[in-house]
Structure 1
Amino acid sequence: MPRSSSASSFYRAPLKASALVLALAAATSAMAAENGNQRYSAGIGGSDMTTPVVPGLYFQAPMVAYHASKIKGNDGKQLTNFTADPYPRAKVSIDTDTYAILPRLTYISSHRLLGAHVGVTAMLPVVKRKADFGLTTGNGTLDAGLGLAARASQMSGSETGIADLEVSPVMHWEIGDHQSVTFAPTIVMPLGDFKADQRVNTGFGDYYTFRPSVQYAFIGDGWDLGGRAVMSFNTRNKDTGYYSGKIFNFDWQAMAFVSEDIRVGVQGYFVRQLQADTVNPTPANGMTQKMLVDQQGNKASVNAIGPAVAWLMNGGEMLIEGKFIKEFGAKNRTEGQAFWLTISKPL
């Protein structure tokens, strides 16, 4: 039997809501890795990679301000507009900021193992994360009856607090007079606050990350070159059933002395997710998990480059570095820019 026009309207209303809610979910879930976050701060490696290391106690305080108003899809194009019948266009917007200080203590002993000085390092970040998501139709309005504005508001938020604790043994080899290699098999433990029903959190959830890194430095005659390769292996988040696939990071920097105390140069990084995310839906998260399932094939990637300047005070009493890094070529994640200020000091 044909449905009446009133019956058709009744059935179209849920379809409108589903189309637009899924448009919003697609934009905000297109970021691979859970909620678009990973536990390694890309760009954190800088002049510390090429600073000579001797046995002792070191303090480091990198500070970062990251902003992004773009989110890229699997094709590398910005995810801002979706067709959501019967609406001609549904515009999705994102505005996200992260402010963080990442204090680290590192101890390098005079004892050697396999020719390397051994030590230990630990870092406990303090962060403020903020994200605003929006969704409007082609005429600039939302049907309040569909609850879309509330859905966008639910995904938005601002949280401040500690993030997750990082601890690692360290092995540092000096290779001749000009080169060094450092190995740090880091374990990241869930310590920061995390709520499964919100997208913005200071912590990452109830899972662990094993993150081995290998760092190489060449200290030349007036110029330095450093690189750090990092691989992240995650367990499944018990809070959400989400598994973030393996992610490879590489930070690099090339610096030249322009005076006895000042170095200038260029820094960059690239991020490649090598394994797709997967989701085991959990009863606690229901609709959120169902929407995330559609995104589990995504793999995040991004490149970045920018200028850096470092001031070596009193021949090594303290190192202060500033840099600006601009991201490009992102896929399945945000694309933005970051200002970094890092203070490093032997104690």
Structure 2
Amino acid sequence: MLALAAATSAMAAENGNQRYSAGIGGSDMTTPVVPGLYFQAPMVAYHASKIKGNDGKQLTTPIQVGPGTFLPAKVSIDADTYAILPRLTYISSHRLLGAHVGVTAMLPVVKRKADFGLTTGNPGVDPSLVSVAAGMSGSETGIADLEVSPVMHWEIGDHQSVTFAPTIVMPLGDFKATQRVNTGFGDYYTFRPSVQYAFIGDGWDLGGRAVMSFNTRNKDTGYYSGKIFNFDWQAMAFVSEDIRVGVQGYFVRQLQADTVTPTPANGMTQQMLLDQKGNKASVNAIGPAVAWLMNGGEMLIEGKFIKEFGAKNRTEGQAFWLTISKPL
């Protein structure tokens, strides 16, 4: 069990998760913003059947099959996340440094499920030695962690805009240090500034959002997830007055390795955690998207399919997104 715990910890960022939902940025990034109240409801279904190690191949861990005898075992995963991420944003008519100022908040509701397994490829190995993976599996449903942020939005001429949002993520979701699958992330805070750029051209749009996540140490587990950089992007073209089609994607790069302070809760020794030093998560993703701008802006409905590739120290999967955005 400890060998498996060390192996799954090798997925950089605690439990292989991060508080920013990669892929959430889409056509909303290039939708014109005027003072008012806005509601967004991105919904995602993410599935992963691969878990990659530091070399970009299937994650492995040694398991002891006898006195001083170890065999390499492949770590398998079957993971699903279903979430709705409702967000309210208010943009006022007041200006600061030339930008409209406002505030935004989001409280996700999620269902997470993950089943782990270990396989050695050796038929002589006692199955009970690899069945311990079931102890790391689980399924949880509930609210995740609360995000709040002030917003500054600049219009640059007729075709460009920039939005700045220094987000704070607070521990609100349920988290138990003794289980691998949770709706919340633990007793720590994340400071997550983001800068979003939009260019609205003659019949086509380009948008990008750069995000940095700075975490404090999780008091529940002694785990510190290193700094992570996310970039969401989209390129969409109008095929009619109301319909946009194009491609969207993202990439994730962890810039700082995780560290862990051994505690009774995580049940690990410092020696067990040496192997994960230097492990940093990364992944790329791309896929098609289509958006319907109803009645010239009364509502935006967008669907997309995003496929991940090139993952290291994390899962690699695919996601279906459906996003509803509406000015209130």
Same fold (TM over 0.5): yes
Residue from 53, 63, 77 that aligns with 1:73: 53
* Cα displacement (A) at 1:139: 4.2
Q: Which of the two has greater helix per residue? A: 1
* Cα displacement (A) at 1:140: 4.8
Cα 1:235–1:298 shift into 2, 3 Å = same
* CA displacement, residues 288-334 of structure 1 (integer Å, 9 cap, x when unaligned): 87644531321000000000000000111100000000011111111
Q: Following the alignment from structure 1 to structure 2, what is the Cα–Cα distance between the partners of residues 212 and 89?
A: 41
1:103–1:125 contact (8 Å) kept in structure 2: yes
Cα 1:277–1:334 shift into 2, 3 Å = same
Structure 2 SS opposite 1:294: helix
1:282–1:289 contact (8 Å) kept in structure 2: no
- How many residue pairs were aligned? 319
Determine the structure 2 residue equivalent to 1:215.
Answer: 196
* Cα displacement (A) at 1:22: 5.8
* Cα displacement (A) at 1:92: 2.5
* Cα displacement (A) at 1:46: 0.3
Determine the structure 2 residue equivalent to 1:305.
Answer: 286
* Cα displacement (A) at 1:23: 5.3
Structure 2 SS opposite 1:284: coil
Residue from 34, 38, 53 that aligns with 2:33: 53
1:279–1:296 contact (8 Å) kept in structure 2: no
2:58–2:74 contact (8 Å) kept in structure 1: no
* CA displacement, residues 90-141 of structure 1 (integer Å, 9 cap, x when unaligned): 3421111100000000000000000000000000000000000012343457
Q: Which of the two has greater strand per residue? A: 2
Q: Following the alignment from structure 1 to structure 2, what is the Cα–Cα distance between the partners of residues 111 and 157?
A: 48
Q: Following the alignment from structure 2 to structure 1, what is the Cα–Cα distance between the partners of residues 72 and 265?
A: 32
Cα 1:129–1:293 shift into 2, 3 Å = farther
1:179–1:216 contact (8 Å) kept in structure 2: yes
* CA displacement, residues 3-30 of structure 1 (integer Å, 9 cap, x when unaligned): xxxxxxxxxxxxxxxxxx5653454222
* CA displacement, residues 55-106 of structure 1 (integer Å, 9 cap, x when unaligned): 000000000000111111111112257xxxxx66534211111000000000
2:51–2:75 contact (8 Å) kept in structure 1: no
* CA displacement, residues 245-276 of structure 1 (integer Å, 9 cap, x when unaligned): 00000000000000000000000100000000
Work out whether 1:136 is the aligned partner of 2:119.
yes
Cα 1:290–1:132 shift into 2, 3 Å = farther
Structure 2 SS opposite 1:288: coil
Structure 1 SS opposite 2:183: coil
Cα 1:138–1:78 shift into 2, 3 Å = closer
Q: Following the alignment from structure 2 to structure 1, what is the Cα–Cα distance between the partners of residues 261 and 147?
A: 26
* Cα displacement (A) at 1:154: 1.3
Cα 1:301–1:162 shift into 2, 3 Å = same
Q: Following the alignment from structure 1 to structure 2, what is the Cα–Cα distance between the partners of residues 204 and 31?
A: 15
Cα 1:54–1:150 shift into 2, 3 Å = same
Q: Following the alignment from structure 1 to structure 2, what is the Cα–Cα distance between the partners of residues 129 and 317?
A: 33
Determine the structure 1 residue equivalent to 2:19.
Answer: 39
Work out whether 1:123 is the aligned partner of 2:103.
no
Q: Following the alignment from structure 1 to structure 2, what is the Cα–Cα distance between the partners of residues 235 and 26?
A: 21
* Cα displacement (A) at 1:189: 0.0
Structure 1 SS opposite 2:270: helix
RMSD: 1.7
Structure 1 SS opposite 2:133: helix
Structure 1: runs of 5+ lacking an equivalent: 1-20, 82-86
2:283–2:316 contact (8 Å) kept in structure 1: yes
**TM-score after normalising by structure 2:** 0.93
Q: Following the alignment from structure 2 to structure 1, what is the Cα–Cα distance between the partners of residues 244 and 119?
A: 48
Cα 1:288–1:222 shift into 2, 3 Å = farther
Q: Following the alignment from structure 1 to structure 2, what is the Cα–Cα distance between the partners of residues 245 and 300?
A: 10
Structure 2 SS opposite 1:206: coil
